[in-house]
């Protein structure tokens, strides 16, 4: 996220606040969340906050939004989803139409980040000779990307002076 996302992030926080018990988030709390989460993409934050509401009635805390799944399990789950879509939507006589349909489905699901797997291995998934090897290779590649994303995010999570200024008044209350 960057400063351009601040307005829609504030709207998201207020909307989630209205849907959960307790007070709506204060402007200070909203800014604190924004500073703590700004190294993550807005769409990912929105997805995680929305998903949190599906299973919890309370407002999500920052660590719940940041919480990452086990890369191996996440890769396996994502790859199963891609395999399902490829088998359902890619046909050997007209594979490009299937890729477009998968792209639309991924966009609807908010998982456009997985399209690279379809582009890389879609044909092998739908009609490959060795599905076990294809699945293993796809999981290996996707797991490496998930770990790379986690490491990149970790490097950017350093506390900055602006964040410290936001936290200080909240501690004193």
Same domain assignment for residues 58 and 11: yes
Across 138-163, b (16+ Cβ under 10 Å) vs e yields: bbebbbebbeeeeeeeeeeeeeeeeb
Same domain assignment for residues 39 and 76: no
Spatial CA neighbour of 139 closest among 147, 129, 127, 149: 147
**pLDDT score of 43 more than 70:** yes
Residue 159 maps to a domain: no
Same domain assignment for residues 62 and 28: yes
84-130, pLDDT tens digit by residue?
Answer: 888 888 766 666 667 888 888 888 877 888 888 888 887 677 666 78
Same domain assignment for residues 75 and 134: yes
- How many structural domains compose the chain? 2
CA 95 – CA 77 distance, rounded (Å): 23
Same domain assignment for residues 77 and 48: no
Q: How confident is the model at residue 159 (pLDDT cuts 50, 70, 90)?
A: very low
Distances (CA, A) of 120 to 3, 8, 113, 116: 34, 34, 13, 6
Boundaries of domain holding 33:
3-67
Q: What is the pLDDT of residue 158?
A: 42
Same domain assignment for residues 46 and 81: no
Looking at 45, 67, 89, which one is the last position of a domain? Answer: 67
Q: What is the pLDDT of residue 95?
A: 60
Q: What is the pLDDT of residue 101?
A: 86
Q: For the residues 52-65, what does the mean pLDDT come to?
A: 83
- 52 or 155, greater pLDDT: 52
Taking the CB of residue 116, how many other CB atoms lie within 10 A of it?
Answer: 13
């Amino acid at each position: 996220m960057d400063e351009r996302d601040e307005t829609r992030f504030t709207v998201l926080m207020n909307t989630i606040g209205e849907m959960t018990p307790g007070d709506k988030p204060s402007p200070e709390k909203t800014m604190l969340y924004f500073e703590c989460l700004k190294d993550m993409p807005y769409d990912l934050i929105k997805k995680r906050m929305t998903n949190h509401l599906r299973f919890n009635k309370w407002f999500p805390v920052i660590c719940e939004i940041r919480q990452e799944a086990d890369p191996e399990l996440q890769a396996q789950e994502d790859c199963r989803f891609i395999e399902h879509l490829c088998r359902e939507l890619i046909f050997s006589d007209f594979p490009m139409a299937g890729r477009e349909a998968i792209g639309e489905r991924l966009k609807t699901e908010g998982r456009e980040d997985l399209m690279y797997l379809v582009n890389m291995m879609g044909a092998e998934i739908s009609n490959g000779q060795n599905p076990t090897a294809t699945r293993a290779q796809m999981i290996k590649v996707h797991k490496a990307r998930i770990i790379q994303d986690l490491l990149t995010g970790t490097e950017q999570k350093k506390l900055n002076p602006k964040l410290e200024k936001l936290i200080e008044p909240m501690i004193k209350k």
